[in-house]
Amino acid sequence: MSTQKLLPGILCPADLRRLPREALGQVAAELREEIVERVSRTGGHLASSLGAVELITAIHYVFDTPDDRLVLDVGHQGYPHKMLTGRRQDFDRIGQLDGIAKFLRRSESPFDHFGAGHAGTSISAALGMARAMLHQGRDHVAIALIGDGGMTAGMAFEALNHAGDLQQKNLVVVLNDNEMSISPNVGALSTFLSRKMSKPMVRRAKGWAKDFLGTLPGDMLHWAHKAEESLKVFFSPGLLFEALNFRYVGPIRGHDLDALLETFENARQMLRNGEGPVLVHALTSKGFGYEAAQQDPVKYHGVGAFDRASGAFRPSKPGPPKYQDVFADTLIRLAREDERIVAITAAMADGTGLSRFAEVFPDRFYDVGIAEQHAVTFAAGLATEGMKPVPAIYSTFLQRAFDQVVHDVCLQNLDVTFAIDRAGVVGADGATHQGFYDLAYLRALPNMVVMAPKDENELARMLRTAVEHPGPAALRFPRGEGVGVAPDPEIKPLPLGEAELLRDGDDAAIVAIGTMVHPALEAAAELAAEGVSVAVLNARFVKPLDAARIARLASRCGALLTVEEHAGSGGFGAAVLEALAAAGVRVPVRCLAIPDCIVEHGNPDQIKGSLGLDAAGIAQAVRTLREQE
Ligand SMILES: Cc1ncc(C[n+]2csc(CCOP(=O)(O)OP(=O)(O)O)c2C)c(N)n1
């Protein structure tokens, strides 16, 4: 290995392609070194990016990027891609306000052909690009790089099915198979792809075939050889992809640059020969090359800052429990009382806290893979038979399953409890992960109950309310820690649709929902010091809304402010406006909410502050509102 560093001289893949093949090992080593070093300081997606270093390097080396389009699924493994495409120096501010994103955005680089953050989109997008190239007479190819986790998303199969049907000649799908999603991957496909299962089976099958061949005379041997071939295919993971009209290549060693270069060159040649689409199946290890991450890829999937030498994380400051843990612990308590309760996650067992539930009730826990749509309809099916399913899905990922919520749950008025985590501003994960739209898309639905707790105690009470409610009900709660209230010994359900007056006042009213209730109380205290008396109502329910109470309060106080950590269009404030209009209440009203724009990554408190969604912003909004009276 040369002592001179190569990465500083690589500002784009064309620079990489000027290097001799023998230099690529050093490039990969430097990439890995730099990813560990940078992420140990800033936090980010570590294990997935380490596992994809050789794959991404080899793809950029063999294919003519950016004219050939590389599309990364999710984008969380894309740090080597960002480093090879001119963004090495920007890593110090990854996920921070005005810094580069942790995922992919078209606006960030001409090498990011498709924005991503949600799984399962890469093959569809790459197929669209490949098709466009044909329409426009461009002689280039599209390459989708997708993990075995991403491959559990239904959309990935929809795209494979379509690409196979089109016999798309300029498309390569690279399956980065490390047997991991965030947690160990699940599902029959995962088992099918798994070398652990297939290798001994193939070996045994080959052994039988050989013994059998030895007993055959003359021309029967020719047919028998063919049979041996089919047997190999039958026992190889390629069967599935070949059946979908893909040429299957693999499995290959995904950290062996020689093997990768040769395979991608062959794949490119196959496309030139008109033999596409091609699927390359590469076996990799998540966290490869950094011992701590390789040993525990779940822990090092997405990390905060850590000590590079030991792999140890900074001890977290003792604080209130996280909402996700309060949710999971409450569900465990409720499940002890009611054996109809089952919990469902779509590949987010740790993130939703449900891994705790799985430990206590392994038989009543389902990880369905990255399959939010299936998770919801599976829950609907369980509910038709009298079970009480609780799918826990992040707000941003539930967007995927909108029609399943409408068609399969709400129209049939089925007893499904939606625990919607990461609702509101998420911080470093950025625009693709913000949970801004759930109130709007849920409150429009018949039969649906929609709630948001002001603190962790109310979360527990809402969960009981939702589970006991005989129809569909949703509760949305934020990322991170609760506010630190002492836990109620008993979890009492809430009266459906009843708001809670937390502070009375005469000059104006604030009606807040969820995370905005406590800042609203602080704002009211600040205004009281200025001699302005402000009432604060905790709405608790977005649907059914406590409309009569809100109308009375608005009429009495003469001015009303709604506050929510959610998009203004169609959200909680919009529901209040509809209710006031219906009641014929005419007072000045303002709705404080996320504006109709894309909110990028950054520190959540900073973002909320900049949008006026904190005590100071709420107080200011009340002052402005009173000026309109
Ligand atoms: C629709 C959707 N659901 C859930 C997630 C959360 N998520 C991010 S990465 C990931 C695992 C991806 O696994 P895989 O594709 O195998 O990549 P690896 O990290 O193993 O390289 C999950 C579940 C997501 N990004 N999108």
Q: Is the CB of 74 under 6 A from ligand 1?
A: yes
Q: Is the pLDDT of residue 230 over 70?
A: no
Model confidence at 219, pLDDT cuts 50, 70, 90, reads low
The residue contributing the CA closest to ligand 1 atom 16 is 149
Handedness of CA 529, 533, 538, 543 (dihedral sign): negative
Report the separation in Å between the CA atom of 564 and the middle of ligand 1, taken as the mean of its atom positions: 29
Ligand 1 centre to CA of 563 (Å) is 33
Q: Binning pLDDT at 50, 70 and 90, where does residue 4 land? A: very high
- For residue 370 and ligand 1, the question of a CB distance below 6 A is answered with yes
Contact 392, 345 (CB under 8 A): yes
* 318 Cα: distance to centroid of ligand 1 (angstroms): 29
Q: Which two tokens stand for residue 406?
A: 């409408």
37 is catalytic: no
User: Of all residues in the chain, what percent carry a pLDDT higher than 90?
Assistant: 87
Residues in the chain: 629
Per the rule left: phi > 0, alpha: psi between -120 and 50, beta: everything else, 591 is: beta
Q: Catalytic residue among 30, 372, 456, 564, which?
A: 372
Catalytic residue chosen out of the listed positions 82, 364, 400, 479: 400
Structure tokens at 467: 């589970």
- Strand ranges (E), 504-595: 508-512, 534-538, 541-543, 560-567, 589-594
Q: What is the pLDDT of residue 190?
A: 77
Determine the Cα–Cα distance for residues 375 and 295; give it in Å rounded to an integer. Answer: 30
Task: Inform me whether the pLDDT recorded for 32 exceeds 60.
Answer: yes
CB 48 within 8 A of CB 286: yes
1 pLDDT more than 80: no
> Counting atoms of ligand 1 from 1, which one is nearest the CA of 432?
25
* Dist. CA 570–CA 189, nearest whole Å: 39
At 590 the three-state DSSP class reads strand
CB 300 less than 6 A from any atom of ligand 1: no
Q: Whole-angstrom Cα distance, residue 128 to residue 108?
A: 21
Residue 433 near ligand 1, beta carbon < 6 Å: no
Determine whether the shortest distance from the Cβ of 357 to ligand 1 is under 6 A: no
> What pLDDT does residue 198 have?
42
Q: Does residue 102 line the site of ligand 1, with CB under 6 A?
A: no
What confidence tier does 232 reach under pLDDT thresholds 50, 70, 90? Answer: low
Q: Work out the average pLDDT over 457-472.
A: 98
Atom of ligand 1 nearest to the CA of 77: 21
Confidence band (pLDDT; 50, 70, 90) for 206? low
From the CB of 48, is ligand 1 less than 6 Å away? yes
**Rounded-to-integer distance, Cα 450 and Cα 571, Å:** 11
What one-character-per-residue DSSP string does 190-227 give? HHHH-HHHHHHHHHHHHHHHHHHHHT--TTHHHHHHHH
133-137, 239-243, 330-334, 509-513: range with lowest mean pLDDT? 239-243
Q: What is the position in ligand 1's atom list of the atom closest to the CA of 151? A: 15
Active site residue 372: yes
Distances (CA, A) of 447 to 405, 407, 419, 499, 549: 11, 12, 16, 19, 21
The verdict on the CB of residue 119 being under 6 Å from ligand 1 is yes
Rounded to two decimals, the pTM is 0.93
540 assigned to active site: no
391 strand-pairing partners? 344
Token pair recorded at residue 585: 């209440």
Find out whether 571 and 396 touch, Cβ atoms under 8 Å: no
Q: How far is CA 296 from the centre of its chain?
A: 20
Q: What is the pLDDT of residues 11-29, one digit of tens each?
A: 999 999 999 999 999 999 9
Rounded Cα–Cα distance for residues 388 and 150 (Å): 28
What is the model's pLDDT at position 627? 86
Atom of ligand 1 nearest to the CA of 348: 23
Residues of the chain by 3-state class (helix, strand, coil), percent to 5: 45, 15, 35
pLDDT at 623 over 60: yes
